[in-house]
Structure 1
Amino acid sequence: MILRALFIALLLLPAAPARAADICNETSFIVEVALGWVTESSEIAVEGWTRVRPGECVESGPTFDPESDRPLLFYARSTAAYLGGVREWGGQLDLCVGASDFAVEGVSDCESLGLDRRGFDILRGDHRLRTVLVEPADYGDDAQEAGTQRLLRDAGFDIRTIDGLEGRRTFRAISAFVQAEGLPSTPPRAELIDALEAAAIRRNADAGLVICNETEGRIAVALGRQRNEEWESRGWWRLDAGGCARLLAEHLDEANAWFYAERTGDTPGRLQGGTESFCYSPSRFVAEGRTECAGRGYGTGLFRIIPDPVDGTSRIALTINDFRVLERTAPVEPQE
């Protein structure tokens, strides 16, 4: 989910000598920040990543003359420690970023260099000097405690509410964690957060539902599951030959989701072995409910249940044998 500029609070400072940007993190996530700017040669330079813990402020990026009109381009993402996928803060300007630390200038073809595209926000004037990342819960001064709670929960400890308030449950979870990790009983909070992040990454980096394409062509994959007592299907994740996608980024305890796939290109085909009907659409979709698909403008596909998870992960490798070849490319309803 992209938390766009609506959730980026920009605090204005008085005019001052040239200085870099202050980036303050009032969310419950450890974030990594990439910044871009226009160089003297009129190219756009982008650098990342600057790591900012919950409740911290850091100085990053180029220095700016407050009187200049050169914008600062801003994008941030949560680290890989968290269940539920990466959270993003940014805007509508697509720029290139690397998976790890990077610096690029004047790049327009991101894919050819193995870079990804992400949407940056454009900050102008005094807005460049201080940027505060927030989330809907608006933790403010309690961000560090909320961030500790979130990491404890995602590392597998008993935290029921992320509220930023100190309590017995949080204290007990911290005590259990430091004892399990052999840490001092009262480590500095920054060290505690770093250790919790490492533990959460070990637990969650590969957790969830991962589907890989071991055919020789491209496939498209959709997911069906029950969320908050409501059935839902969504797609598509498009995978080239040899590619993988994580459809669910959470620690799975049981096989409680279903998947569907189609081969695209010159030899279209549909997944075999499906047992449960879900709605789907030829283009990107999110469909609520599993009934009356046709009346709501959807097709109906037979989805296959995922394998039982091992250590929180259910992994699927699709081969040509998983697909039934279609003799026509127009959508057809699967036979019961």
Structure 2
Amino acid sequence: MFLRFKNAVRIGLLVALLVVLPSTAIAKLKVCNHTDLVLLVAVGYDVPSGVVATEGWWRLYPGYCQIPIDLKMNDGRYFVHAQSDEKSTMPTDSFAWGEQHSLCVGGSDFKVEVAGECREGTEVAKFNALRKNWNNTQKVDIYHPERRYANLFRTKVAGVQRLLSIAGYQLGVIDGVAGEKTVEALNEVGIANSVFGFDFDRIFPLLERSALSDRQSQ
């Protein structure tokens, strides 16, 4: 009986230690798109040589949270820049996020080893520094200054509405609510492409192609 109790005490102490000790999980940067626009994301970070490197672009659909770069959050500075994808955004609705630091980015998939010196094929973009905190939550929330939605699902619906509008559908106000006109337009697109319901993982790429095709034909 004593041995069992002693083992139970050891187990209890082990569980207590696991609860009390801070998490040693690898913290990674997560970016959440709270806008109704398709965003392109670039990340900057300190490297051992003492300079800042940048990488991009990662496509982030409305209402999605993703880890853009498979990089352990070590000591040092991290920076984030986001901009609307011009291929799926009307010119009057362009958007950029970042204002604190000027770093160099490329025009397509890129990695700039020394982002403080722009060379041929790169240009300056504005980044915001990441505020790292004590509990390993390294999340960046990107909002539009004029449009906010109640939750991420509403944000996804608003993103779908915006792409449908670019593709020529007359939906009225973009509000993140799946009303009759939005559902009818989605059904029309879905039936033609065997996509049904709110399958956003398939809907967004499909609507991007439709919006781009419509803009090119204008």
Q: What TM bracket, shorter-length normalisation?
A: 0.7 to 0.9
68, 76, 80: which one pairs with 2:82?
76
Residue correspondence of structure 1 range 1-336 to structure 2 within 5 A:
17-61=25-69, 62-65=71-74, 68=75, 70-79=76-85, 80-83=87-90, 84-110=92-118, 112-126=119-133, 129-135=138-144, 136-139=146-149, 140-141=151-152, 142-179=154-191, 182-186=192-196, 188-204=199-215, 311-312=217-218
Shift of 1:18: 2.9
Q: Give the conservation status (yes or no) of the 8 Å contact 2:102–2:116.
A: no
Q: Give the conservation status (yes or no) of the 8 Å contact 2:195–2:203.
A: no
Taking every aligned residue pair, what percent have the same amino acid on both sides? 28
Structure number with the higher strand fraction is 1
Q: Give the conservation status (yes or no) of the 8 Å contact 1:75–1:121.
A: yes
Give the TM-score normalised by structure 1. 0.52
Shift of 1:123: 1.3
Amino acid at match of 1:121: N
Shift of 1:22: 1.0
Amino acid at match of 2:30: D
Runs of 4+ with deviation above 6 angstroms: none
Distance in 1 separating the partners of 2:25 and 2:207: 38
Counterpart secondary structure, 1:48:
strand
Tell me: CA distance 1:16–1:145, structure 2 relative to 1, closer, same or farther (3 Å): farther
Counterpart secondary structure, 2:68:
strand
Tell me: CA distance 1:185–1:52, structure 2 relative to 1, closer, same or farther (3 Å): closer
Shift of 1:108: 3.8
Shift of 1:203: 2.3
Q: Give the conservation status (yes or no) of the 8 Å contact 2:107–2:121.
A: no
Q: Give the conservation status (yes or no) of the 8 Å contact 1:91–1:122.
A: no
Shift of 1:72: 1.1
Tell me: CA distance 1:25–1:108, structure 2 relative to 1, closer, same or farther (3 Å): closer
Q: Give the conservation status (yes or no) of the 8 Å contact 1:18–1:63.
A: yes
Counterpart secondary structure, 1:63:
coil
Equivalent residue pairs, number: 188
Distance in 2 separating the partners of 1:98 and 1:48: 8
Shift of 1:51: 1.3
Tell me: CA distance 1:15–1:201, structure 2 relative to 1, closer, same or farther (3 Å): farther
Distance in 2 separating the partners of 1:85 and 1:26: 15
Which residue of the partner structure matches residue 240 of structure 1?
none
RMSD, matched Cα: 2.1
Distance in 2 separating the partners of 1:172 and 1:60: 33
Q: Give the conservation status (yes or no) of the 8 Å contact 1:20–1:60.
A: no
Amino acid at match of 1:116: E
Amino acid at match of 2:60: V
Counterpart secondary structure, 1:28:
coil
Counterpart secondary structure, 2:207:
helix
Structure number with the higher helix fraction is 2
Tell me: CA distance 1:168–1:39, structure 2 relative to 1, closer, same or farther (3 Å): same
Tell me: CA distance 1:36–1:177, structure 2 relative to 1, closer, same or farther (3 Å): same
Structure 2 gap segments, 5+ residues each: 1-21
Distance in 2 separating the partners of 1:128 and 1:71: 15
Tell me: CA distance 1:128–1:98, structure 2 relative to 1, closer, same or farther (3 Å): farther
Distance in 1 separating the partners of 2:81 and 2:161: 24
Q: Give the conservation status (yes or no) of the 8 Å contact 1:91–1:120.
A: yes
Structure 1 gap segments, 5+ residues each: 1-13, 207-310, 313-336
